[in-house]
A and B are shown apart, each in its own frame.
Chain A
């Protein structure tokens, strides 16, 4: 398998993403399933730069739920990085970890939450926690940056010690809402 092109870890000050990467590394997370996401961009870059981690670029989030079931069958641990809008895609596929008692950790950055501008993001953002809990996923929330590593640590332990799907919802206050009006002023 071709190794993901090595990229330098992002520069800059230590953030919640650096702490989360260190937690994932310490937990021997080997498969990192990702969809593109601004809120996770620093964490994705840190994982890409980590030779112990294999990045799996998904076309849709539910692929990651199935992937990580296969990873666990094969003796590896993984994590799924996604946005709340993808939670709806995952619901039926979550029957796999639920029926199998597979551990699964989903780190979900929220849209349709604090300061949202885009009306289309609100329905799924509003429903995210409810639909996850309705199908049986345990949900932890981190609405401030300092809470994120603590909740990820909690989610890691709960998922992998007790063999069940756990989602950590990272609130929009942590990464900030996109300001579409400002972006209209930026020249390409």
Chain B
């Protein structure tokens, strides 16, 4: 058994040299992780709306079919929105990747175990739903393959990345969601985005 992957290193690897990638993060640790990798105008870290991260990614991917969209979320957040795997799978957005950082625990609420720690196979569920690609990652070689797929192949892609259930200092993004929205839209759509309806 190789040493476990660490969430901050995984996210830093996925967001390194990101180009014009659009990134959505589920609430809690994934939001801190993408911020730790470097706060970015094209990051949309969530502060709530648990279970909605993958669907925000889908709406964004449909609106911006020429841009790569990466959703980074946790196992608990994904478990709350499992139906969205079916919703995404039937639309087959080629530009959408959903990466679940799976520490098998609800880290923000007292480290209660999630269902993945009891054997629930999220990547298997995504594959069965019909994702073009569904993979499990547990080591640096797998992480390298995941990065290449996120940037270089057609999706929809789902990855379940097993990570160390470590507790880390929070790295907080701005928390005014209206600001995060404007920042993102201006970076993506240009300054006129605040005038257009």
Contact = CB atoms under 8 A, between A and B. Distances in A.
A59 B83 contact: yes
Interface residues of A, number: 38
Interface residues of B, number: 42
Interface stretch (B2-10, B107-115, B185-193): B185-193
B136 interface: no
B59 A68 contact: yes
B64 interface: yes
Nearest to B180: A100
A75 interface: yes
A160 B195 CA distance: 11
B56 to A, nearest CB: 4
Given A70-B61, A96-B56, 20 more contacts: A1-B62, A1-B94, A2-B91, A57-B90, A58-B83, A59-B84, A63-B84, A64-B55, A66-B52, A66-B53, A66-B55, A66-B59, A70-B24, A70-B60, A74-B188, A75-B189, A76-B62, A93-B52, A100-B178, A101-B177
Contacts, number: 132
B57 interface: yes
Given A56-B58, A73-B59, A101-B181, A93 B49 contact: yes
B124 interface: no
A62 interface: yes
B63 A1 contact: no
A70 B56 contact: yes
Contacts of A100: 177-178, 180-181
A64 B51 CA distance: 12
Given A59-B83, A161-B197, A54 B52 contact: no
B50 interface: yes
A64 B48 CA distance: 16
B44 interface: yes
B87 A66 contact: no
Interface string B82-115: 0110110011111000000000000000000000
A61 to B, nearest CB: 10
Contacts of B165: none
B89 to A, nearest CB: 11
B52 A69 contact: yes
B87 A75 contact: no
Contacts of A96: 46, 48-49, 52, 56, 177
A100 B176 CA distance: 8
Given A56-B87, A71-B63, A95 B56 contact: no
